[in-house]
Amino acid sequence: MNIELALAEELKNVLHELYQIDIQADASLVQPTRKEFEGDLTIVVFPYVKLARKAPDMVAKEIGDRLCERMDALTGYNVVKGYLNLSVADGYWLERLREGFADERYGLFAQREEAPVLIEYSSPNTNKPLHLGHVRNNLLGHSVSQILMACGHPVVQVNLVNDRGIHICKSMVAWLRYGNGETPESANIKGDHLVGNYYVVFDKHYKEEQAELIAKGLSEEEAAQQAPIMLEAREMLRRWEAGDPEVRALWEKMNQWVYAGFDATYARLGIHFDKTYYESNTYLLGKSLVQEGLDKGVFQRHEDGSVRVNLTDEGLDEKVLLRKDGTSVYMTQDLGTAQLRYEEFHPGKMIYVVGNEQNYHFDVLKLVLGKKLGKPFGDSIYHLSYGMVELPSGKMKSREGTVVDADDLMDDMFEEAKQSTESLGKFDFQPDEAAALYEMVGLGALKYFILKVDPAKNMLFNPAESIDFNGNTAPFIQYTHARIRSLLRKAAEQSVNVADALPDGLSPEGEEKLIVKKLYQYPQVVLAAGENLSPALIANYVYDLAKQFNHFYQETPIMRETDAAKRLLRLQISQWVANTLRNGMKLLGIDVPERM
Ligand code: ARG
């Protein structure tokens, strides 16, 4: 048991004995003592003052006396205005260092036997390559998955591809009309970009055709409806739904191009899925769930023929679940997809990482499945909603001029990393090694900058700021890691064995102790990040740790220390910091270099 929890347990007992106050023993009742005060752990007594009917400082003193009597790890306390600051024996921190410094899996909890958390993220449409919004989505989904796994939860990562509908038919029509048989190989571009280009081509011709019709006297709406290219796309969709083999074959072919492109982007981002769902496979199950709702009388057939669900009692409105022509809408497939996932994995929780423009959609999904259809998994649905991400204006106009392409962005980050690393000089890397480093630093910068922000907030991604070696950035943390690894290599060269046992009686002091205490908190931070689904907690922790270590390293000799025991202690602390930086960054999907 960690000391916070042990203390909270004793606090519970002591409060009961002294004042008959009953509380829940929760580790969060015990905070690290603020730097300006003496002590290691602090308990705030204000919540108990009223029931104890004594002055705050008196209450703190009575609690402090009892706690110190009961717990060997405590050596004393002081009271500052209702804050009870407790001191922990030095030997305690020495033990923590001994346990922690060589633990490669520090901060990773053993996997529990429980229903998995199913997490859906990315979920692109097949008519366009991934863009900056998907990048935030992918990074969040990947990181939250890593964090949950670190907390010991079994996790199933899934993707959902919107592979059917009018959007992909538009790309297909444009390719048939204007493509001359072009393929990703013949054009030498990624398949997702190729198909995305034809989506743009469609739009261009569609606009032209509309303008012609308007010039002939049609209204805007009529023109939009009647433009020949649009009629072709609709016809294509109709044939698709009817299972026309020719259309299906083309659809199959173009979607495969797109998937190959997505796979390359995912691989570069370092993410993978345990399973990919396709809307074309789930919408029919969705339709059957709509029928189920009709049969149960919880959905209604509207006079225009559409099927709707009335959610006005829940503070929402009426929502269409099937169009009047019987075709499915976006919601239809989500009903089926959720059901399928439940049957396949029996998850305890289903997390959907999707932008906040779909908040309403997920409110409805949860209500329809839970309250209306009475599905056991309705309540387990959780929408992890995130805000927009933009680049500073003028940065990286994409080929369409509006959205920022994910692949282009990664190329750009590679270049940024290259330039800033080269500008630091002193570089003796082989070309391959250098390229791997730029990729690690460039992508690390991108990931960290996005993940350190609370997902709910809109944000600006600033490439130059993200790569600043002295800021709250991945490169700063990566550099700190590389510095420690170089220190440890130097120790090995001088035949110092960092794994040697520390002598008794020696304890971390001053900044050493502060770092050990910080390191000791890491597993709790991982748990908190898992509870809150918050990579930002990990990012902030890792940054603080790196900053703290750098300060220590500047002030304190390590290899120059002549007392061998002290040198060993500092090396072990350093190694523990390096491991923790590496493990923490891994939870953000970021690698750290051995040297840089
Ligand atoms: N493909 C959708 C879009 O691009 C996002 C899907 C989100 N996931 C879901 N289960 N509805 O807007």
pLDDT of residue 424: 77
Q: For residues 552 and 133, what is the distance between their CA atoms, to the nearest angstrom?
A: 39
| Å from CA of 403 to ligand 1 middle | 18
Q: For residues 303 and 138, what is the distance between their CA atoms, to the nearest angstrom?
A: 42
Q: Which amino acid is at 502?
A: L
Alpha-carbon torsion 461, 396, 430, 270, what sign? positive
Q: For residues 218 and 239, what is the distance between their CA atoms, to the nearest angstrom?
A: 28
pLDDT of residue 399: 45
Alpha-carbon torsion 164, 171, 193, 133, what sign? negative
- In three-state secondary structure terms, 382 is strand
- Token readout for 75 is 């050596």
Question: Which of these, 272, 273, 150, 109, lies nearest to 534 by C-alpha position?
Answer: 150
Contact 354 CB / ligand 1 (< 6 Å):
yes
Residue 260 φ/ψ region, left for φ over 0, alpha for ψ in the -120 to 50 degree band, beta for the rest: alpha
Q: Which atom of ligand 1 is nearest to the CA of 337?
A: 10
| Å from CA of 398 to ligand 1 middle | 22
Ligand 1: which of 255, 339, 354 to mutate, judged by most atoms within 8 Å of the beta carbon?
354
DSSP element (H, E) containing 168: helix 166-178
| Å from CA of 567 to ligand 1 middle | 55
| Å from CA of 334 to ligand 1 middle | 9
Residue 496 φ/ψ region, left for φ over 0, alpha for ψ in the -120 to 50 degree band, beta for the rest: beta
Ligand 1: which of 130, 168, 358, 384 to mutate, judged by most atoms within 8 Å of the beta carbon?
358
Residue ranges of domains in the chain, CATH in brackets? 3-88 (3.30.1360.70), 117-275+283-294+340-395 (3.40.50.620), 406-587 (1.10.730.10)
| Å from CA of 27 to ligand 1 middle | 38
- Atom 9 of ligand 1: nearest residue by CA position: 334
- Atom 10 of ligand 1: nearest residue by CA position: 334
Contact 300 CB / ligand 1 (< 6 Å):
no
| Å from CA of 224 to ligand 1 middle | 26
- Token readout for 523 is 């597993």
Tell me the mean pLDDT per 10 residues along the chain, length 596: 87 96 91 89 95 95 96 95 94 92 95 97 96 97 98 98 95 98 98 97 97 97 96 96 96 98 98 97 96 97 96 94 92 98 98 97 97 96 96 60 86 95 79 94 98 96 93 97 97 96 89 94 95 98 98 95 96 98 98 95
pLDDT of residue 398: 45
The number of beta carbons lying within 10 Å of the beta carbon of residue 111 is: 12
- In three-state secondary structure terms, 581 is helix
Contact 282 CB / ligand 1 (< 6 Å):
no
Q: Which atom of ligand 1 is nearest to the CA of 125?
A: 1
C-alpha of 311 from chain center? 32
Alpha-carbon torsion 256, 261, 262, 266, what sign? positive
pLDDT of residue 396: 53
- In three-state secondary structure terms, 405 is strand
Q: Which amino acid is at 216?
A: K
| Å from CA of 187 to ligand 1 middle | 29
Q: For residues 350 and 141, what is the distance between their CA atoms, to the nearest angstrom?
A: 12
Contact 83/42 with Cβ under 8 angstroms? Answer: yes
Contact 160 CB / ligand 1 (< 6 Å):
yes
CA distances from 104 to 315, 538, 580 (A): 50, 17, 9
- In three-state secondary structure terms, 173 is helix
- Token readout for 213 is 């019709």
pLDDT of residue 429: 87
- Atom 5 of ligand 1: nearest residue by CA position: 123
pLDDT of residue 188: 97
> Side-chain half-sphere of 138: how many Cα atoms within 13 Å?
25
Contact 385 CB / ligand 1 (< 6 Å):
no
- Token readout for 283 is 């919408």
Q: For residues 416 and 422, what is the distance between their CA atoms, to the nearest angstrom?
A: 10
| Å from CA of 455 to ligand 1 middle | 17
- Atom 8 of ligand 1: nearest residue by CA position: 123
| Å from CA of 493 to ligand 1 middle | 54
Ligand 1: which of 162, 328, 385 to mutate, judged by most atoms within 8 Å of the beta carbon?
162
Contact 258/195 with Cβ under 8 angstroms? Answer: yes
Contact 580/589 with Cβ under 8 angstroms? Answer: no
